[in-house]
């Protein structure tokens, strides 16, 4: 009996062709560790070269800005601006996804391409203007905002295209899940929570990836200066072609 177009035999569980669903499953497995390395590199490179501003952990900027406001210390305008800029970039990512009408793997590629272009912009801007020479200056502030936008697109990518994937940048949640899962697995008593060994494995991979990204970025900054942005940019290009 012939299969009707659009029937469950031809479509994946989320309404995509089975072939696209297979590719999406591969991306969910292979892409997050690479993105966690990129997030670690971008966060540390931005922090050390662009005025101690977190480009991936926006919550850190919120805490530092609030602390400065309470204690009356020097106000870092770029640090405060990073929060609304991040929100605006996430909103733009949603608009791009809506306008493109893409889903799954195709939307993943599109958002990865935008992240790559933004990181490439940070690289070009940094090597031409040397913002690290004045980390609290205007050029550093511009570079930070572009980097924040790049990470906003990575966050949006996780929610819009790969919602089942563990966060690649919010390491507090991954660390909490890892510790609790290990405690449950080592306890002979009745479990307090369900231990998902697959999720534990993924969380560990992302924790290690983020740490590796930070370590590589630290070495790159000491050796390459502003050119350290070239490594996360190259990795972002690699992420686009991951199969």
Percent of the chain with pLDDT over 70: 75
Count of CB atoms situated within 10 Å of the CB of 228 = 25
Instruction: Specify the pTM.
Output: 0.79
In the three-class reduction of DSSP (H, G, I as helix; E, B as strand; rest coil), residue 96 is classed as helix
What are the φ and ψ backbone dihedral angles of 94, each rounded to 5 degrees?
A: -65, -45
Q: Is the pLDDT assigned to residue 6 strictly greater than 80?
A: no
Contact 171, 207 (CB under 8 A): yes
CA distance linking residue 25 with residue 7, whole number of Å:
20
Q: Is the pLDDT assigned to residue 27 strictly greater than 90?
A: no
Contact 210, 40 (CB under 8 A): yes
């Amino acid at each position: 009996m012939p299969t009707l177009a659009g029937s469950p035999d031809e479509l994946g569980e989320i309404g995509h062709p089975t072939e696209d669903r297979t590719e999406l499953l591969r991306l969910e497995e292979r892409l997050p560790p690479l993105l966690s390395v990129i997030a670690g590199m971008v966060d540390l490179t931005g922090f050390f070269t662009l005025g101690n501003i977190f480009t991936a952990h926006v919550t850190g900027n919120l805490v530092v800005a609030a602390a400065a406001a309470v204690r009356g210390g020097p106000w870092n305008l770029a640090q405060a601006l990073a929060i609304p800029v991040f929100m605006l970039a996430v909103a733009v990512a949603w608009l791009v996804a809506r306008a493109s009408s893409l889903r799954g793997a195709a939307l993943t590629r599109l958002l990865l391409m935008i992240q790559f272009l933004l990181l490439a912009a940070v690289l070009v801007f940094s090597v031409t203007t040397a913002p690290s020479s004045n980390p609290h200056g205007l050029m550093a502030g511009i570079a930070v905002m572009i980097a924040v936008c790049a990470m906003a697109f990575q966050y949006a990518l996780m929610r819009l295209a790969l919602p089942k994937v563990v966060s690649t940048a919010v390491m507090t949640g991954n660390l909490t899940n890892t510790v609790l899962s290990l405690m449950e697995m080592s306890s002979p008593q009745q479990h307090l929570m369900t231990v998902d060994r697959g999720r534990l494995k993924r969380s560990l991979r992302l924790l290690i990836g983020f740490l590796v990204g930070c370590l590589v970025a630290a070495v790159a900054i000491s050796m390459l200066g502003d050119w350290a942005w070239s490594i996360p940019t190259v990795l972002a290009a690699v992420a686009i072609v991951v199969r």
